[in-house]
Amino acid sequence: MKINKKIEIKNRKARFEYEILDRYTAGIVLAGTEIKAIRLGKASIAESFCEFQNNELWVINMTVQEYSHATYFNHQPKQERKLLLNRKELKKLEKDVTNSGNTIVPLRLFVNENGLAKMDIALAKGKKLYDKRETMKDRDNKRRLDAIKKQYK
Least confident of 22-26, 40-44, 53-57, 88-92: 40-44
45-99 pLDDT, tens digit per residue, is 988 999 999 989 999 999 888 877 776 777 777 888 999 999 999 999 999 998 8
Question: Phi and psi at residue 133, in whole multiples of 5°?
Answer: -65, -40
Q: What is the mean pLDDT of the chain?
A: 87
Question: What per-residue confidence (pLDDT) applies to 147?
Answer: 92
Q: How remote is the C-alpha of 107 from its chain's centroid?
A: 3
Question: What per-residue confidence (pLDDT) applies to 71?
Answer: 67
Q: Is the Cβ–Cβ distance between 129 and 39 less than 8 Å? A: no
* Cα–Cα distance for residue pair 49/14, rounded to 1 Å: 10
User: Above pLDDT 70, what percent of the chain?
Assistant: 95
* Cα–Cα distance for residue pair 4/113, rounded to 1 Å: 8
In this prediction, residue 1 has a pLDDT band, given cuts at 50, 70 and 90, of very low
Q: Is the Cβ–Cβ distance between 9 and 109 less than 8 Å? A: yes
The angle subtended at Cα 23 by Cα 53 and Cα 97, nearest 5°, is: 40
Q: Is the Cβ–Cβ distance between 85 and 99 less than 8 Å? A: no
Q: What is the mean pLDDT of residues 101-105?
A: 90
Question: Domain ranges in the chain?
Answer: 8-127
Q: H-helix or E-strand containing 138? A: helix 129-151
Least confident of 23-27, 32-36, 68-72: 68-72
Burial of 83 (0-12, 13-18, 19+ CB in 10 A): buried
Q: Which fold has domain 8-127?
A: Small Protein B; Chain: A; (2.40.280)
Q: Is the Cβ–Cβ distance between 116 and 51 less than 8 Å? A: no
